[in-house]
Amino acid sequence: MGTPTYDLISSTTLTSTTASVTISSLPSTYRDLVFVTRGQGSTSAYLTCRFNGDDSAIYNWHSMMGDGSLRLGASSASGTSFPALEYPQIVSSSNDFIGILNVFDYSVSRHTGITWRVNRASGATGLVAGRYASLSTITSVSFTLSAGLWQIGSTFDVYGIEA
């Protein structure tokens, strides 16, 4: 087996504020995708991601998080998106946020698995593991805040992993 390589597919740096960022026209030539998201919001907000604009109740996930004093876990067998964490203020104006979303086997006719590691500068960290119960190839991913706007300078990088 060869050593997997990461190819930068696209890099987006916001030059204006927006509540949602969609990365589309994803090529189907890689085995897996990795999305690296960094930035701040204009207010405290939850962050979700959705594939192909699909809001069907087919996002199955489990999450866990901690911040040194608080520990939480949550799950859904019929979500309409993947949450970064079930935790308030994961994205805010006073905290830098970084998220690394791994999307496995996204271009084959089977359910797609994900892991989403998230960290907030003030100390909260967590992991979401899930399954997108669709046989469709993933061609776009949207990162949406529940309130406020992504701030100028927030970045969204996409890498393809070759087998």
Q: What is the pLDDT of residues 124-154, one digit of tens each?
A: 788 999 999 999 999 999 999 988 899 999 9
Q: What is the secondary structure of 22-58 as a DSSP string? A: EE----S-SSEEEEEEEE-BSS-B-EEEEETT--SS-
Total domains in the fold of the chain: 1
**pLDDT higher than 90, residue 14:** yes
What does the block give as tokens for 101? 């979303």
Q: What is the pLDDT of residues 48-101, one digit of tens each?
A: 999 999 999 999 999 998 888 888 889 999 999 999 865 555 666 667 889 999
The residue type at 74 = A
- Asked if residue 34 lies in contact with residue 102, where contact means CB atoms within 8 angstroms, the answer is yes
Nearest to 115 by CA among 101, 105, 95: 101
The residue type at 156 = F
C-alpha 156/C-alpha 135 separation (Å) is 25
- Rounded to 5°, the CA angle 138-40-90 comes to 75
- What range does the domain containing 113 cover? 5-162
Q: What is the pLDDT of residues 21-41, one digit of tens each?
A: 999 999 999 999 999 999 888
CATH of the domain at 48: 2.60.120
- Residue 119's pLDDT is 84
